[in-house]
Amino acid sequence: MMLKYIGNRILQIAILLVIYVAIVFFLLHAMPGGIKTLLISNPKLTPQAQEAIIRAFGLNQPLWLQFVDYMKNVFTLNLGISFSYYPTPVWNIIAERLPRTVLLFTVATLIAFFVGFASGKSLAWNRGKTTEYVSTVVGIITYTIFTPLLIFVVIWFFGSFLGIFPLNQFLNPDLWIHTRLNAQIIFLYILMTMVIIGAVMLASYTIALRFSHKVITRRMIFYLSSIISVIFSIFFWWVSPVGIYAADILWHMVLPVMTVTIISYAGTMLVMRDSMLETIKEDFITTARAKGLPDKVVRDKHAARTAMLPVVTNFVLSLGFVVSGGVITETLFSWPGMGMTLLDSTLAKDYPLAAGALIFTGIFVLIAHLVVDIVYAFLDPRIRY
Amino acid sequence: MKPILELRNLKMYYDTQAGQVKAADDVSFVLNEGESIGLVGESGCGKTSVSMSIMKLLPENGRIISGNIFFDGKDIVNFSDEEMNKIRWAGIAMIFQAAMNSLNPVYRVGDQIVEAITAHEPNVTFEEARQRVANLYKLVGLDPERMDNYPHEYSGGMKQRAIIAMSLACNPKLIIADEPTTALDVIVQDTILRELEKVQKKLNMSMIYISHDIAVIAEVASRIAIMYAGKIVEMSDSVVIFKRPAHPYAIGLMSSFPSIRGEKKELVTIPGEPPNLLNAPDHCRFAPRCPFATDECWKQTPSYSEIESNHFVACFHPQNLKKLVNMNA
Amino acid sequence: MADNTNMTVKSVEVKLESPFSIKVRLLWRAFKENWNIFSKSKIGMIGLYIVIIFAVAGFIVYPILADTVWKTTSLNAMVSYNPVTGYDFLQNNPAPPSWAHLLGTDPLGRDVLAQLLYSTPREFMLGIVAALITVVIGTLIGTVAAYFGGAIDTFFMRLADIVLLFPFIPFLIVISGMMQVDLLTLALIIGLLSGFGGITIVLRSQGLIIKSRPFIESAKVSGASDAYIIVNHIIPNVMPLSFLYMMFNVTGAIFSEAVLSFFGLLNIKMSWGLMIYTADTAGYIIGSNIWNYWWLWLPSGASITLLCGAFYFIGRGLDEVVNPRLRKR
């Protein structure tokens, strides 16, 4: 049943993906003054190069043939050659930068979700207190603040005033100049470590759920295995000679992650608060109280767990918003990910790269959507069965 | 017989922006072990407020102003939440008004019952608790295999049975059944009520039935208390109330229920609207709708008078139904 | 007796009004009721006040000031000072706030306050035009999809799914990099794109609720055409929700414009985002420096935040009107 549901969702996402690429194609290529004209009229290109581009992109073919070609190209990752990084293929640039965005975005959204979830939960539970009022106001401010404004202040406060975090860039050039290491490889290793830790946590959670019925033992299994895996990976990086470089990358990541977190936690918090307030009025909460369960159990196990469902749905809907915030954040922190690539290539009139970045940003959002959808199915038995 | 629950002049008010709502005003009754009582009244008359006061599950704006609630000899009015948690379910369990929504949709039904057991009896292992739940399922006529299903996979009647099983989980001394069958169709309603009665007799529990439907209550409860506007206006054995209602409101309630066996008669409706409990008046609260009201009724609240043994009425002009019927005819 | 009937006829005649005035009266009453709920929401009122302040500043104060203080006289034309676009050679720019320039000048010697006020009506226009387009499209599609169901419904809902997942800002960035986008075009693009998005899903589900109400059935029975039912029955009932979403869309549109002009991608004369862009590209917003030149980015940034926030606040306030479940007791 579950597999069928997941299969269904994957199929739907695949269809959405095709339609998304189609929309991008038609909006960018078929519009008068679209990429087609821009490709040819780039003054940097020699006539031969123009000719080559027209042939390479099949620009003199009928539109639908171009569309079919385009689709084929997208799915074979043949996205053309970047103008500004000539002659690097667009796909190579994207393959290098996509993981950076994925890491930044995933870490920040996870933190933001848990912070928003926990604070929304306690806001609703402690309704009418000053703390509720203050944190709602703070949440609304960070939710509505103009992102660049927030980033200026964050950069000033942590970078200049406190001076504890590095500004700009993805790594410290002074450190890396003495090594022949490729930052990309280190970065992928970091990503891999995180995936492994995540997998260990997920596995221990499943095992705990399967083999124990006592809350305390479940928690013990989960936390112990998580902590052990984290300590082990830290130790591993510590003894490895490249550990310091990884630390450098992570150190540079702190501020952007914090910014994206600040931008996006409030959305979750406010929805969680509203959802929780509605759930508290439900009859099954009264039942749980009447059963004589401790306050904390009623709050966490019954109210929060159920109130979480609309929050997850809303979270899916806000993915686009967070990605937008990510573009601004990446640009202002010079974090060379997809967002910055998108903006730079647009400003440099590097259309193949801009289109490629746009498509892969979309694919990334779609996959994130799929992941959240599957998580949702695990959370809500009414969908699972 | 030992009294299990005693309410003494319970006053429960809600503070609202518009003023004080006197949801329960001077409510008193005694419930003995193994006995059952029915609280009857229209919606909004304070029945549920009384039951929630007993469980001490009041919303933030609801307060117990004065009065005592003795459960098992102890006054629980000033109990803290932790102390109450020990009494809830283990001492007093509840079957809720909206059984449809009383189960958490994201957990298995069986687990929700197991949870109640393990919360009160920490020494019981998970397997033992499950075994107990399976037995309870059999007791209320559910297939124990359905324990691992989710609430949305249950029908309305099954949910109701599961709720009853849940209320029995910790062998409580008292069960409050708040409109236990309202959402169900008549056939299922009847079966479930009978089963509830059977279980109650078998386990010798005390029971408070709450309903707007006096006919349903009379079948299962040995005593009936009729509530109007936050006050108990009449209380006696079910048979007595059914045969010789004395309060004009009770008479009105009786006449608005059709009888299958009895002669055909016109259903009498009580004129006027149910009272607004907001800033309730000092005089008899039924006076505005009462055909027998006199100046006296508009001046002060009537106190209880025992018109026959164990038949209490709060009215200045208790009536005799038989006489009335003859008069009209 | 005859007198009596005459009087009733008269009073009936008095009560007869043209349908139009009845409609107006009903609307007025509904408005007053909703206003009462809305005005209790603190956050909504704060939002409304902020919007009013901005509206007064942009639509009334700016024209007056532009006509008096910042009027291009022949004299200051010679020193080529124009509050919005011109040069001022008499001082070092950017100059901090002074009596001549209440919020200082930007790196090109332009008065920050003048730029701020000049942009205000344009931000309003952009936000409201974009939101109007969104709401009109969203309401039409949402109600039509709800009413007819079937293939139309499926198509628009899948489309909405995609639009929802659209990385909106990145897309606008690429578009505005490719084409010369001015304010009106941007409003059009934003309005069109978001009109097919989440708003249709919300309004469709609301439309479905209304479609199931009995009066739709009775309208059908009395021979009303589909179009008539949609326009006269369904749309008026989803209107409050549309209005609520319009507020959120105004926020989104203003925010998008600010981001795009902050990146210097728009083809416009002046806007709040562009003010920050100017300061940023001129190198005045770097780390520790930012508080030395606060007037270059803080007033405009704060204006964007406040106006976006204000519409969002109004939306939250309206939410309590539209969504009774959120209301406090």
Over residues A1-44, the pLDDT tens digits come to 678 888 888 888 888 888 888 888 877 766 655 566 666 666 66
Q: Tell me what pLDDT residue C79 has.
A: 52
Q: In degrees rounded to 5, what are phi and psi of residue B61?
A: -90, 5
Q: Tell me what pLDDT residue A185 has.
A: 83
Cβ within 8 Å, pair A320-C166? yes
Identify whether the C-beta of residue A90 lies closer than 8 Å to the C-beta of residue A352: yes
Task: Let me know if B313 is exposed, middle or buried by CB neighbors in 10 A (0-12, 13-18, 19+).
Answer: buried
Residue B225 pLDDT greater than 90, yes or no = yes
Identify whether the C-beta of residue A322 lies closer than 8 Å to the C-beta of residue A264: yes
Tell me the mean pLDDT in the region B23-31.
Answer: 88
Task: Let me know if A123 is exposed, middle or buried by CB neighbors in 10 A (0-12, 13-18, 19+).
Answer: buried
Q: Which residues of A touch B104 (CB under 8 A)?
A: 284, 287-288, 302, 305-306
Those chains having 3 or more beta-carbon pairs within 8 angstroms of chain A are B, C
d(CA C46, CA C53): 11
Task: Look at residues A312, A254, A358, A311 and name the one whose alpha carbon lies nearest to residue A124.
Answer: A311
Q: Which of B98, B106, B166 sits opposite A306 (nearest CB)?
A: B106
CA distance to partner chain B, nearest, from residue C43 (Å): 20
Pull the structure tokens for residue A3: 């597999």
Q: Tell me what pLDDT residue C56 has.
A: 92
Confidence band (pLDDT; 50, 70, 90) for C4? very low
Q: Which of B85, B96, B152 sits opposite A382 (nearest CB)?
A: B152
Cβ within 8 Å, pair A284-B105? yes
How far from chain centre, in Å, is Cα A63? 34
CA of C329: which chain A residue's CA is closest? Answer: A281
Confidence band (pLDDT; 50, 70, 90) for A210? confident
Q: Which of C164, C251, C302 sits opposite A320 (nearest CB)?
A: C164
Q: Which residues of B touch A382 (CB under 8 A)?
A: 105, 150, 152
C198-211 and C112-148 helices, crossing angle to 10°: 40
Q: Which residues of B touch A125 (CB under 8 A)?
A: none
- Which among B49, B56, B85 is the top mutation candidate for probing chain A, defined by the most A β-carbons within 10 Å of its own β-carbon? B85
Task: Look at residues A278, A262, A312, A304 and name the one whose alpha carbon lies nearest to residue A138.
Answer: A262
Q: Tell me what pLDDT residue B258 has.
A: 59
Higher pLDDT, A279 or C94: A279
Query: Which domains, ranges and CATH numbers included, belong to chain B?
Result: 3-91+170-328 (3.40.50.300), 104-169 (no CATH)
Those chains having 3 or more beta-carbon pairs within 8 angstroms of chain C are A, B
Tell me the mean pLDDT in the region C29-45.
Answer: 85
Task: Look at residues B228, B210, B230 and name the one whose alpha carbon lies nearest to residue B25.
Answer: B230
Tell me which residue has tokens 């959808």. Answer: A373
d(CA A370, CA B6): 58
Among the listed ranges A194-198, A252-256, B180-184, C213-217, which one has the minimum average pLDDT value? B180-184
Residue B231 pLDDT greater than 50, yes or no = yes
Confidence band (pLDDT; 50, 70, 90) for C91? low
Q: Which residues of B touch A290 (CB under 8 A)?
A: 55, 57, 88-89, 93-94, 96
**Domain C43-326 in this protein, CATH class:** mainly alpha
Over residues C247-272, the pLDDT tens digits come to 888 988 999 999 999 988 888 888 99
Cβ within 8 Å, pair B93-A213? no
Chains A and B form CB pairs within 8 A to the count of 77
Q: Tell me what pLDDT residue A139 has.
A: 87
Cβ within 8 Å, pair A148-C326? no
Residue burial B258-287, b: 16+ Cβ < 10 Å; e: rest: eeeeeeeeeeeebeeeebebeebeebbbbb
Identify whether the C-beta of residue B163 lies closer than 8 Å to the C-beta of residue B122: no
Confidence band (pLDDT; 50, 70, 90) for B109? very high
Among the listed ranges A123-132, B3-12, B52-61, which one has the minimum average pLDDT value? A123-132
Q: Tell me what pLDDT residue C306 has.
A: 92
Percent of chain A with pLDDT strictly greater than 70: 91
Confidence band (pLDDT; 50, 70, 90) for B324? low
Q: Which residues of C touch B21 (CB under 8 A)?
A: none
Residue B103 pLDDT greater than 80, yes or no = yes
Over residues C137-191, the pLDDT tens digits come to 999 999 999 888 888 888 888 888 888 777 888 888 888 887 778 888 899 989 9
CA of A39: which chain C residue's CA is closest? Answer: C178
d(CA B318, CA B320): 7
d(CA B279, CA B277): 6
Residue B54: Cβ within 10 Å count: 20
Task: Look at residues B28, B77, B38 and name the one whose alpha carbon lies nearest to residue B206.
Answer: B38
What ranges do the domains of chain C cover?
Answer: 43-326
CA distance to partner chain A, nearest, from residue C326 (Å): 7
Q: Which residues of C touch A152 (CB under 8 A)?
A: 285, 290, 297, 301
Q: Which residues of B touch A379 (CB under 8 A)?
A: 106
Helical segments of chain B, H only: 47-55, 81-87, 109-120, 126-139, 156-168, 186-203, 214-220, 238-243, 248-255, 321-328
d(CA A256, CA A168): 9
Identify whether the C-beta of residue B88 lies closer than 8 Å to the C-beta of residue A291: yes
Identify whether the C-beta of residue C98 lies closer than 8 Å to the C-beta of residue C104: yes
- Amino acid of residue A193: T
CA distance to partner chain A, nearest, from residue B101 (Å): 6
Confidence band (pLDDT; 50, 70, 90) for C329? very low
d(CA C71, CA A296): 66
Q: Tell me what pLDDT residue B157 has.
A: 82
DSSP B281: -
Q: Tell me what pLDDT residue A216 has.
A: 80
CATH topology of domain A2-31+79-181+260-379: MetI-like fold (1.10.3720)
| Length of chain C, in residues | 329
Task: Look at residues B63, B61, B60, B87 and name the one whose alpha carbon lies nearest to residue B73.
Answer: B87
Q: Which residues of C touch A144 (CB under 8 A)?
A: 251, 305, 308-309, 312
Tell me the mean pLDDT in the region C132-139.
Answer: 93
Cβ within 8 Å, pair A346-C302? no
CA of C329: which chain B residue's CA is closest? Answer: B16
Cβ within 8 Å, pair B106-A309? yes
Q: Tell me what pLDDT residue B141 has.
A: 84
Residue B266 pLDDT greater than 70, yes or no = no
Q: Give me chain B's average pLDDT, please.
A: 84
Q: Tell me what pLDDT residue B259 has.
A: 58
Q: Which residues of C touch A328 (CB under 8 A)?
A: 169, 259, 262
Residue A59 pLDDT greater than 70, yes or no = no
Percent of chain C with pLDDT strictly greater than 70: 85
Residue C214 pLDDT greater than 80, yes or no = yes
What ranges do the domains of chain A cover?
Answer: 2-31+79-181+260-379, 182-241
Cβ within 8 Å, pair A355-C174? yes
Q: Tell me what pLDDT residue C9 has.
A: 47
Task: Look at residues A108, A52, A65, A366 and name the one whose alpha carbon lies nearest to residue A257.
Answer: A108
Cβ within 8 Å, pair A365-C167? yes
Tell me the mean pLDDT in the region C88-114.
Answer: 74
- Which among A146, A271, A313, A373 is the top mutation candidate for probing chain C, defined by the most C β-carbons within 10 Å of its own β-carbon? A146
- Which among C178, C185, C205, C325 is the top mutation candidate for probing chain A, defined by the most A β-carbons within 10 Å of its own β-carbon? C178
Tell me the mean pLDDT in the region B301-327.
Answer: 79
Confidence band (pLDDT; 50, 70, 90) for C127? very high
Q: In which region does residue C272 sit, left (phi positive, over 0), alpha (psi from -120 to 50) or beta (all else)?
A: alpha
Residue C327 pLDDT greater than 60, yes or no = no
Q: Tell me what pLDDT residue C5 has.
A: 47
Task: Look at residues C312, C310, C306, C260 and name the one whose alpha carbon lies nearest to residue C116.
Answer: C306
Identify whether the C-beta of residue B28 lies closer than 8 Å to the C-beta of residue B304: no
Task: Look at residues A323, A374, A377, A318 and name the one whose alpha carbon lies nearest to residue A10.
Answer: A374
Q: Tell me what pLDDT residue A45 has.
A: 66
CA of B96: which chain A residue's CA is closest? Answer: A287
Q: Tell me what pLDDT residue A41 has.
A: 64
CA distance to partner chain A, nearest, from residue C172 (Å): 10
Confidence band (pLDDT; 50, 70, 90) for C6? very low
In sequence order, the β-bridge partners of residue B6 are B30, B70
Tell me the mean pLDDT in the region C45-74.
Answer: 84
Q: Tell me what pLDDT residue C13 has.
A: 52
Confidence band (pLDDT; 50, 70, 90) for B134? very high
Q: Tell me what pLDDT residue A217 has.
A: 83
Q: Which residues of A touch C168 (CB under 8 A)?
A: 320-321, 324
Q: Return the HEC string of A357-381.
A: HHHHHHHHHHHHHHHHHHHHHHHCH
| C36 in contact with B, Cβ within 8 Å | no
Q: Tell me what pLDDT residue A34 has.
A: 58
d(CA C201, CA C139): 10
Residue A115: Cβ within 10 Å count: 17
| Length of chain B, in residues | 329
Higher pLDDT, C325 or C138: C138
Q: ipTM > 0.90?
A: no
